[in-house]
Amino acid sequence: MARAAMNFAASLADAQPVAFWLDDPGKPAALPALTTDERCDLLVVGGGYSGLWTALLAKERDPARDVVLIEGRETGWAASGRNGGFCAASLTHGLGNGIARWPDEIDRLERLGAENLDAIEEAVETYAIDCDFERTGSIDVATEPHQLAELDEMHEQARRFGFDGLELLDRDALRAEVDSPTFLGGLQDRRGTAMLHPARLAWGLKRACLDLGVRIYENTRGLELAPAGSGMAVRTPWGRVFARRVALGTNVFPSLVRRVRPYTVPVYDYALTTEPLSPAQLAAIGWRGRQGLGDAANQFHYFRLTADHRILWGGYDAVYPFGGRVSAEMDHRPETYLKLAGHFFRCFPQLEGLRFSHAWGGAIDTCSRFSAFFGTAHGGRVSYAAGYTGLGVGATRFGAEVMLDLLAGRSTERTSLEMVRTKPLPFPPEPVAWAGIELTKWSLARADARGGRRNAWLRTMDRLGLGFDS
């Protein structure tokens, strides 16, 4: 065991402590900060996917609308530039979660999600965004016998609700797609997920916004939100922005609407990328379809190929910092990197000797129902969306549409959804939040080790609809 750990450590020896996606020569230069007062029709706070899609769609809806976007650091530097690049159609963190929470709306939610993914693909083409967009689909992988039964149940549930786009794969069929001795079977969705370069998507959206006339200020934090006449004012370190309407896309960071803050907690996720695989190494694992993969455990891994044939391997540990504080020191966790490396070579022993090039982490905005929630404040002059829980690459565009509908006071198919009209349960204050999250993590790990059997705590959480299923 000690010798194996030494080998895993050696595989990480040259890994750069930076997100692979952000270590890119195409990264655009930062834009100047706001150093005076500004006025606009719409202010967007946050330069990740939520904010960028909101600004872009606002200009598409009304090219004459004066839009300003402020970002506390640089566009795409946080979750939007650190994620795995899985752009899923699901708006509900998977079909199972959607059926459990909104069975009467699941047809509409799935249709709207598919339309949303199509619209992202169209925007990538329209604005010539070079983000390695590949609509390759995804596979949920069983690595333990009890997970085969769970995938079969998921497949049957989808069929009962009229969704026939999922395909069960037995061991041989799955290993013909991607070869690992740990794979026992899988559930494939051929159209519901696209793989992409997440940071380049953010940078491409930034460029598209600028081309449409959005004024973007980087290194400009929104510090305080307050009414100002018939509109709102947001104070920044060196100025203010006066706007008729404000859309908040701050997600994991503390909301400028204080009452929204208890609905989300930050959970840190970590990932590795390998050096590029040689043709012989690629042949050893197959993976000709380039699908995104995730195993079906509670503590799960997600993995995919990059455009230059690296494997991104992430997940498993989900670390909640006591008090819910987001801090740069949490962005790296060597013990998790070592654990991920060990899991990687257990999955792909035929790649022994491969080394990792990058290792990084980042915070995910998690809510108790595992999918986004929405709302307004200050008499409808402010809207917000948050709580995407790791599936925001695609769903944030839908959230942007919802925020703009809410600011316009429009009744649409989107705003009529129960998912949009209701909120998850908020998290309790500390130390109860930390204790509950740690107990849940321990219980999920125990369920993985005990054939999927959920203990009394998890069964209680299930009955309360708190959504802690991964």
CA angle at residue 22 from 138 to 80, to 5 degrees?
A: 55
Q: Would strands 239-248 and 38-45 be described as parallel, antiparallel, or unpaired?
A: parallel
322-353: per-residue pLDDT in tens? 998 999 999 999 999 999 999 999 999 999 99
Give the pLDDT mean for 30-59.
98
Q: What is the pLDDT of residue 295?
A: 94
Cβ pair 285, 352 in contact under 8 A: no
**Where does the pLDDT of residue 467 fall: very low under 50, low under 70, confident under 90, or very high at 90 and above?**
low
**Whole-angstrom Cα distance, residue 143 to residue 128?**
39
Q: What is the pLDDT of residue 178?
A: 97
CB hemisphere CA count around 127 (13 angstroms): 25
Q: What is the pLDDT of residue 34?
A: 98
274-307: per-residue pLDDT in tens? 999 999 999 999 999 999 999 988 889 999 999 9
Q: Residue 258 pLDDT > 80, yes or no? A: yes
Write the DSSP string, 212-270.
TT-EEESS----EEEEETTEEEEEETTEEEEEEEEEE--TTSPPSSGGGGGG-EEEEEE
Please indicate whether residue 64 or residue 456 has the higher confidence score (pLDDT): 64
63-107: per-residue pLDDT in tens? 999 999 999 999 999 999 999 999 999 999 999 999 999 999 999
**Where does the pLDDT of residue 4 fall: very low under 50, low under 70, confident under 90, or very high at 90 and above?**
low
Q: Which residue has the tokens 């081309």?
A: 211
**Whole-angstrom Cα distance, residue 69 to residue 246?**
10
144-193: per-residue pLDDT in tens? 999 999 999 999 999 999 998 999 999 999 999 999 999 999 999 999 99
Q: How many beta carbons lie within 10 A of that of residue 194, not counting itself?
A: 25
Q: Residue 140 pLDDT > 60, yes or no? A: yes
**Where does the pLDDT of residue 452 fall: very low under 50, low under 70, confident under 90, or very high at 90 and above?**
confident
Strand residues in 306-445 grouped as ranges (E): 311-315, 356-366, 373-377, 382-386
**Whole-angstrom Cα distance, residue 89 to residue 54?**
18
Q: How much is the pTM?
A: 0.95
462: three-class secondary structure by DSSP: helix
222-233: per-residue pLDDT in tens? 999 999 999 999
**Whole-angstrom Cα distance, residue 298 to residue 446?**
9
466: three-class secondary structure by DSSP: coil
Please indicate whether residue 323 or residue 21 has the higher confidence score (pLDDT): 21
Cβ pair 314, 272 in contact under 8 A: yes
426-441: per-residue pLDDT in tens? 999 999 988 988 888 8
**Where does the pLDDT of residue 270 fall: very low under 50, low under 70, confident under 90, or very high at 90 and above?**
very high
382-426: per-residue pLDDT in tens? 999 999 999 999 999 999 999 999 999 999 999 999 999 999 999
Q: What is the pLDDT of residue 470?
A: 44
> In degrees to the nearest 10, what's the CA dihedral of 151, 156, 159, 165?
20
Segment (H or E) for 368: none
Q: At how many degrees (to 10) do helices 432-449 and 456-464 cross?
A: 120
Cβ pair 202, 393 in contact under 8 A: no
Give the pLDDT mean for 432-458.
87
Q: What is the pLDDT of residue 278?
A: 97
Which of 318, 312, 355 lies closest to 333 in space, CA to CA? Answer: 318
**Where does the pLDDT of residue 5 fall: very low under 50, low under 70, confident under 90, or very high at 90 and above?**
low
> What's 311's DSSP letter?
E
Give the pLDDT mean for 254-258.
97
Q: What is the pLDDT of residue 463?
A: 79
